[in-house]
Structure 1
């Protein structure tokens, strides 16, 4: 609505004329309105366009870009920045030049989401060609290990990688992501994390989100980078949240720069008790600023807080300058 209102406001202003001291509105032909709208799109600030696009659907953007070649030329930067496709569709339009045949400027793609998985395509598809442009975010499903990423050439612009494992027992190793030297955010779903030593792979990795991911001895989460990880989010819907490996992490994680830690237990039949572990967590991470506990998590101290005991609640939440957000406080 804002987008259309702005367009109409600009178009109407173009049709106002002065006649004998009075302002009158002239009848503007459709072709003139379309031309004025194209001019409006070409002069509007990029930041304002981004705000407007948040208020309209993807379908609206596609239909708007289809109204004329001139409008499409202006909007293609935003139209092709986010692309969603299946393996079947991607392979069907990938031509000999290594770019989607339907896109004249593949460098416009900034975010790509593959909605299906195929083990054969993962190993044979030229990811190096796909990632050598301006692609900064990639989301895909995989039917097995992420080892195929190792064969991607270095130098890509990828900043965010989100991978969903479809097959149980799929293995992840940070060594697989060696080509992604600029990676800043990693999101893994349903992977079994293979043991690897702490190293300089992905030197800019600062945000790590693990959803139903497991690991075995001797691996520790700090191996992702105790001096790199700033934000760590752990979400579980299975029994691993009650495992010895997870408890060992709670007893004393040793991240040196971690500022934000979030733990979510969505398993309704397994209650995660953190009455003692919270203080150990805070004491073992001096840089911690926020701790979020969500879902089926029990803490005796927090559960006993009432509105009449709010002063103690504040002093506890503010211990060592760490803000503790508990699920019982949140909607």
Structure 2
């Protein structure tokens, strides 16, 4: 049933693409699970405008938002196969596939959003982007994913003790499962689109995400307690199918890279504005925002997670380099 729905969605999307984007020689199909207007969606649209201008109308991008082409796990596979050309995806689903992506996904690896920007805009970020090539994908750019915190429908969480036995949705990543387990809670990997109903029906008690996602998903409506533990500051990634990439000339490949890089500051500006809007909206809704927590026990609890996932010398060197980055 899921496969049929996905294929039907792809066929409808392809028909729409043919009708709306016939002016370009080649229209690249881009997927995003977030809704229209979300910073990542608008950033890829901006990339498309830049690309169309720089190639004289030779290349365009059509963005399919709101999971029209499927949830992230499905769209990753479709991108690897070449059915989708471009894809904005969270790093979490790649953790079990590309070991380098585990590093920026580590809890508390970044001291701040500014620290994350410095790292991901530099050689470490490029090293991670380069790692996608061995998996039929071309890493183009990193977008912001904000700082992720826990929210739930049951009670305010002010300590690890409060988390014991609670059920939280996480992205489909072993590392995120282990992170929640290390905090004494139970992790439930679920597609993003299933979270609202799962909280509403009691399948899970809550989830973890950033301000804009907590807002635009509607999760704040069913999970009224938001604890700003900020355990993750994980960037998101824009990738291209290697099959689609290989069809382009070297000049067009460079145009795609340049347009992707140019979309990053656009995304960051939109993200900062969206975060403020979402915070104001959620506070106005009367949700309880918990800030008086001692984060050090949460940080200390992550030691076994680091020991499990940072094993090779390469990954240890990456962690040390990030920690040494000012």
Taking structure 2 as the reference length, the TM-score comes to 0.25
The structure with the larger Rg is 1
The answer to which structure, 1 or 2, has the higher relative contact order (CA under 8 A, 6+ apart) is 2
Taking structure 1 as the reference length, the TM-score comes to 0.25
